Structure 1
Amino acid sequence: MSGYQTGLIVLLALNTIAAYGVYLPMAAGQLNLGIAGFMVIGAYAGAYLTNECGWPVLAAVGAGGGAAAILAVAIAAPILRTQGIYLSLATFALGQVISAIFLNLEVVGGAAGYPVSVHIEATVVVAVAAVVVLLIGLVSTTRVTIYFAAVKNDPLVADLLGLNVKAIGIAALTLGAGIAGIGGALYAHYFNYIEAQYFGVMLSTYTVLYVLLGGTQSVWGPLVGAAIFTLLPEALRSSSQWRYAIFALFIIIFMALRPQGLMTRGLSRRRARTAVQDGTTAS
């Protein structure tokens, strides 16, 4: 496998992890436009632990995710008092503030960036991404997704039914932030260099688009959306200057025809039913 193909697979894995970091809060009705802020925390925290404290790389990656999750818990209560567009604006502002802090923090290089001394292989990044997808898939088979859906659809009714709406919202934001932090730490140790400017508003916007394109109704939606956004522009590379215009036109037409996203709950159920019927026929 060439270096270009390996880099593309790693980019897909990182985009997938980030997409699931957005998917979990979105499943509970939270549009998180500050996901890049949690990724930058994971990146710098993990890199600092390996550079300055000599931590093993996987432990540092986990700690990076933990640092992002801790921040999410700390700020969840005031942020989740807002709803709708105001919640999106609050998370957007949070992401910008976090990136600005690291941009001016000299202990980790400030605007000059921060070199990372420990390198991880592409197989590690892909393996962690696969574990994240599998874990989210397992979570989707539990009552957690029902609680998230109830809070998303009608928080008042969910509260009347006895659900702790506040705790569920905090859990969704925290889990998403932790996953995003892990993705940021993996990014730092694979590319061996961090710039706070990379973790800006465009990264958050693209990550949200992964989920919207793939579909929020199915647990596989973020994976599909990340794959389309990562691989399709490369497939259009032969179009040179027109590839981004063609890709943008594709997204506009697709969302106009299928605003619910590519993967929906009904589609997943039909595929599962077909698989069961095929298995019965084979028997």
Structure 2
Amino acid sequence: MSGYLSGVLVAYLLNLIIAYAVFLPGAGGILNLGVAGFVAIGAYASAWLSNEMEWPLAVTILLSMGVSALIGLAISFPILRTRGVYMVLATIAFGEVVVGLLINVEAIGGAAGYPVFEFIDLPVIALCTLAVVLFVVWLMSTRFGLALRAIHDDEPVAALFGVSVRGVRVAAFTIGAAIAGLGGALYGHHYAYVDVIYFTTLVSIYTLLYVLIGGVQTPWGPIVGAAVFSLLPELFRGATEWRYVFFAAVIILIMAVRPEGIITRALLLRLKRRGTIAAPTKEAAQ
């Protein structure tokens, strides 16, 4: 595989991991625009543990996920007390606070950034991404996933049927923070450098768009959404100055045709029914 294709694929896989960090709380009705803050925490924590403590790479990545999860758990309680636009503003504020703190810590490079010595290549990133996808797909098929969807669809009715709305949302927010920490750790160890300027609110907005375009109703949505934003601009690279015009036109078309996202539960049900109908027909023909 060429270096160019490898770079594009790595960017897509990292975007997909971070997209799932937004998808999980989003499945429960939480718009997290502070995910870049958790990505930064994971990146810097793993880099520092690897550089300064010289611990094994697997240990540093797991610990960075744990740090992100603990911080996510701590801030989930005050954030989840807010509603609507105030919740969005609270998550944005968290991301900005993280950036403001990291840029003033000289031990991790401050505004100059922080080099990362241990390197992670595409195969490891691909395995980690596959693990995240399988985990989220499994999680959404459990009672926890059913509770998340119920809260998203009708919170009062979900509470009436005994769902702990606060507990489920806190858990989703915390798990999402851990996944974002994983994405940050892999990012830092692949690009061998972490710079706080990368982890801005704009990254969180882009990641939210991956989920919204792909679809928040099923765990397959982020796969498609991240592909649209990561791979489609590369397909239009030959169009030079018209590249992003074409890309924007495609995004507008998708939003007009599929306002609920490309992958929805209704679409999956239709595909499943067609497969069920086609199977007996094929057997009868034989």
Shorter-chain TM-score bucket reads over 0.9
Residue aligning to 2:17: 17
Aligned letter for 2:116?
Answer: V
Counterpart Cα distance in 1 of 2:94 and 2:52: 27
Q: List gaps (5 residues or longer) in structure 2.
A: none
Deviations 1:208-233 (A, max 9, x none): 00001001112100010001110000
Cα distance, 1:14 vs structure 2: 0.1
Residue by residue, what CA displacement relative to the aligned partner does 1:167-217 show, whole Å, maximum 9, x if unpaired?
A: 111011001111011000000000110001101011101000000100111
1:6 is matched with which residue? 6
Instruction: Give the secondary-structure state (helix, strand or coil) at the position aligned to 1:217.
Output: coil
Structure 2 equivalent of residue 116 of structure 1: 116
Q: Distance in 2 between matches of 1:37 and 1:171?
A: 18
TM-score normalised by L of structure 2:
0.96
What CA distance in whole angstroms lies between the structure 1 residues aligned with 2:236 and 2:134?
Answer: 30
Percent same amino acid among aligned pairs? 47
**Correspondences of 1:139-158 after superposition (within 5 Å):** 139-158=139-158
Look up the match of 2:212: 212
Secondary structure in 1 matching 2:218:
coil
Counterpart-to-counterpart distance in 2, 1:23 and 1:269? 20
What value does the CA root-mean-square deviation take over the aligned residues? 1.2
Residue aligned with 2:73, SS: helix
**Structure 1: which 5+ residue stretches go unaligned?**
none
Could you report, residue by residue, the CA deviation over 1:221-263 in whole angstroms, capped at 9, with x for unpaired residues? 0010001110000000011111112211221222122210100
Per-residue Cα deviation, 1:94-151 (whole angstroms, up to 9, x for no partner): 1111111111111100000000010011100011001100111111221112101122
CA shift for structure 1 position 281: 4.6
Give the partner amino acid of 1:5: L
Letter in 2 for 1:138: W
Structure 2 partner of 1:173 = 173
Q: Deviations over 1:62-116 (max 9, x none)?
A: 2111111100111111110001111111001111111111111111000000000
Asked whether 1:66 is paired with 2:69, we answer no
1:278 Cα deviation after fit: 4.1
CA–CA distance in structure 2, aligned partners of residues 278 and 9 of structure 1: 34
How far apart are the structure 2 equivalents of 1:217 and 1:130? 20
2:259 is aligned to 259
**Whole-angstrom CA distance in 2 between matches of 1:282 and 1:49:** 57
Displacement of 1:282 after TM fit?
Answer: 5.0
Alignment of 1:36-185 (within 5 A): 36-185=36-185
Secondary structure of 1:29 counterpart: coil
**Corresponding letter in the other structure for 1:97:** V
Cα distance, 1:270 vs structure 2: 1.9
* 1:201/1:255 CA distance change after superposition, 3 Å: same
Alignment match, 1:271: 271
- Code of the residue aligned with 2:23 in structure 1: it is Y
User: 1:277: how far off?
Assistant: 3.9
Q: 2-side partners of 1:167 and 1:238: how far apart?
A: 49
Paired residue secondary structure (1:59): helix
What residue is the counterpart of 2:188 in the other structure? 188
| CA distance in 2 between partners of 1:140 and 1:75 (Å) | 23
For these two proteins, the number of residue pairs brought into alignment is 283
3-state DSSP of counterpart to 1:162: coil
Q: Deviations over 1:41-82 (max 9, x none)?
A: 000011111111111112211211111110011111111000
Distance 1:136 1:278 in 2: 29
**2: CA distance between counterparts of 1:212 and 1:158?**
23
Q: In 1, distance between residues paired with 2:212 and 2:55? A: 37
Alignment partners' CA distance in 2, 1:71 and 1:130: 25
Matched AA of 1:267: L
